[in-house]
Amino acid sequence: MKKIYLLMAAMTAVVLVNASTTISLNNLSATGANESGICVTTDAGTNTQSSPVINTTNGATLRLYAGNTITIDAGDVEIESVVLNLNASNRNRLTTMEATNGTVVVDSMTWTATWSDLSGSNSAVTLTVGQKATLGIQSNNAGQIHILSIDVTLAGEEGTCEPPKADTVVLNIDTVIIDPEYYDYYGDVMFYVIDTTSGVELIFDAYTTAADEYDGTYSTEDESIDADYSGAYGAGATDPASAVEATLTISTSGETITMSGTMLSEDNIYYTFSYTGGYGVIEIEDDSYMYEPDEVIEIDEEFSELKADTDYVEDYGTLDIYLYKDESFVYLEYITSEVPEDLNMPLAAGEYMIDDSGAAGTFSASAGWSSTYEYDFPSFYGIYDEGGAAEGYYEDTYYFVDGKVTVTKEDGIYTIVVNATSAKGSTFTGTYTYEYDEDTAVEDIESKVINNNKIYNVMGMEVNKEHKGAVLIQNGKKFIVR
């Protein structure tokens, strides 16, 4: 159930210079920040598809989409000015902003959006992102604002705004389940702490001393709990609600475990619990794969179809390429910030490496190949045996760890050849050949972002959240279930 949470890292570093307070995006969350009596909050506003996020594609920025809002509140202290320092990555979708009071000037030369109001005294202001990128290169697209930092100038030394206090919920835990499946790979163990009466389940991803030794104290502060993969189910508006802060203390004696812990969720709910009793441990399945490590898998015939998905180029810097043949396909994740002109021939001629460098012009080692459509949808991430921990969903799948992709374009023939090595050492070779002409239509995968918290695979089919190892999509965002 890993990587089901997409916790955006939070933004708070404050420096006081006379009456000026500067809030930096080092630790600011997608929902806001509270420092030195200044409360910064964001909201989806009129946008029903895209909410504010922390985006790290071109440096960490707080990304606001068309119709999103950001509010700066200093309590009862006057705000003289607000300057949003923007990232140059905003050049394509730069837009105007409107204020509840006063005016906002967006300047593409200094990469700033400056608010001021000379007509009155204001202790709070809400800024709304324009609908169209009227100041950007892609002026017909929806507007965006990419914030690097915020400078707030106050009439006093600091503001008096108090952040909303978290609601405290005391859980009556009656079930504890421990999953050590990922310890050999990542050194962490998953603890599922469940209150069946209220329906709330807390998940702690803790780095333990061994797969079967849990005693100790863990916290997000010292990073012995990974907040990115910890959170709460049944927590209210956001489900799952990612952890902002968490602590966990464990002591075992025979078949009895004593636990106590706390968790502050992104929904501003503070959970606390203590428990003494029995616990269950998920048995680690034996890695008995269907192919020997030295086996060579070849697809000699031409793949029947190529599709390129551009939906993640701008936000994540990846172009997803699929080579289909019957019930098999190769999935390739190309690192790029540019959308190709012809999606039938998305790559220029040349050689491209498959590795984990994340460098532009390479393919991600997290892509792979699937040979079956198990349960009516394909899988392509990881190597799992039928009946194993993945319960048959990932039979015959491969995970590329290295290799190369060779592209040629000659005499009307466009060819992609994939030579890759799997995580178990077996090798794969596949060839896609395409006969092109100048009148060939461009084909792209079109998708619509739906914020309904449902989880889909890359084929657009709804799946459940327990598909470990898969690349899934929730609310328009890709994540990997570890």
Q: What is the mean pLDDT of residues 66-82?
A: 92
Q: What is the pLDDT of residue 14?
A: 36
Q: Are 144 and 66 in contact (CB under 8 A)?
A: yes
Structure tokens at 80: 């003289």
User: By three-state DSSP, how is residue 173 classified?
Assistant: coil
d(CA 333, CA 368): 9
Average of per-residue pLDDT values in the chain:
77
CA distance 190 to 205: 5
Contacts 24+ apart (CB under 8 A), 180-186: 180/211, 180/212, 180/281, 180/282, 180/284, 181/282, 181/284, 181/285, 181/389, 181/468, 182/2, 182/482, 183/208, 183/210, 183/211, 184/211, 186/482
Least confident of 161-175, 240-254, 468-482: 468-482
> In angstroms, rounded to a whole number, what is the distance separating the alpha carbons of residues 303 and 458?
19
Which pLDDT score, from 0 to 100, does residue 420 have? 84
Average pLDDT (14-29) is 52
- What does the DSSP 8-state code read for residue 374? G
pLDDT of amino acid 390: 31
Note the pLDDT of residue 309: 85
Q: Which residue has the higher pLDDT, 167 or 100?
A: 100
- For 30-163, strand residue ranges (E) read 32-35, 38-43, 53-55, 61-65, 69-73, 79-86, 97-99, 103-107, 112-116, 124-129, 144-154
Tell me the C-alpha distance between 364 and 355, whole Å: 6
* Greatest mean pLDDT range, 21-25, 394-398, 425-429, 443-447: 425-429
Residue 321 pLDDT: 87
Mean pLDDT on 343-365: 88
pLDDT of residue 172: 94
Write the pLDDT tens digit of every residue in 185-234: 678 899 999 998 988 999 999 999 998 999 999 999 899 999 888 988 88
| Mean pLDDT in residue range 305-319 | 84
Give me the mean pLDDT over the 70-92 stretch.
Answer: 90
Confirm if 436 and 344 have CB atoms less than 8 A apart: yes
- Cα–Cα distances in Å, from 322 out to 337, 416, 445, 475? 18, 11, 10, 22
DSSP annotation of 282:
P
What one-letter code names the amino acid at 397?
T
Token pair of 425 as six digits? 């050492």
Assigned token pair, 233: 């189910």
Q: Is the pLDDT of residue 28 over 50?
A: yes
477's tokens: 């965002």
The pLDDT score that the predictor gives to residue 442 is 46
Banded model confidence at residue 458, pLDDT cuts 50, 70, 90: low
- pLDDT at residue 10 is higher than 80: no
- Statement: residue 400 has pLDDT above 70: yes
416 phi/psi in degrees, rounded to 5 = -120, 125
pLDDT, residue 449, reads 45
Residues 145 and 138: their CA atoms lie apart, in Å, by: 13
Confidence of residue 369 (pLDDT cuts 50, 70, 90): low
Q: Are 11 and 31 in contact (CB under 8 A)?
A: no
- In angstroms, what CA-CA distances link 200 with 20, 84, 135, 195, 454? 43, 38, 46, 5, 18
pLDDT at 443: 46
Of the listed ranges 107-111, 155-159, 404-408, the one predicted with least confidence: 155-159
Beta bridge partners of 40: 33, 72
Q: Which of 233, 261, 241, 258 is nearest to 170 (CA)?
A: 261
- The domain ranges of the chain are 14-154, 167-281, 296-480
380 φψ region: left (φ > 0), alpha (ψ -120 to 50), beta (else): alpha
Structure tokens at 481: 């279930």
Q: What CATH topology corresponds to 14-154?
A: Jelly Rolls (2.60.120)
Mean per-residue pLDDT for 300-317? 77
Mean predicted confidence (pLDDT) in 127-135: 95
Q: At residue 295, does pLDDT exceed 70?
A: no
pLDDT over 80 at 240, yes or no: no
Residue 371: pLDDT above 80? no
Q: What is the mean pLDDT of residues 377-391?
A: 32
Whole-angstrom CA distances from 454 to 47, 105, 306, 477 are 18, 39, 27, 11
Q: Which pLDDT score, from 0 to 100, does residue 162 have?
A: 82
Of the listed ranges 131-145, 335-349, 410-424, 435-449, the least confidently predicted one is: 435-449
pTM of this prediction? 0.43
More confident residue, 75 or 423: 75
Residue 1 has pLDDT above 60, yes or no: no
pLDDT interval class at 21 (50, 70, 90) = low
CA separation for the pair 66, 143 (Å, rounded): 5
The pLDDT of residue 408 is 93
> pLDDT band at 459, cuts 50/70/90?
low
Question: How far is it, in rounded angstroms, from Cα 201 to Cα 235?
Answer: 8
Supply the pLDDT for residue 249.
96
pLDDT over threshold 60, residue 57: yes
Whether the per-residue pLDDT at 403 is higher than 70: the answer is yes
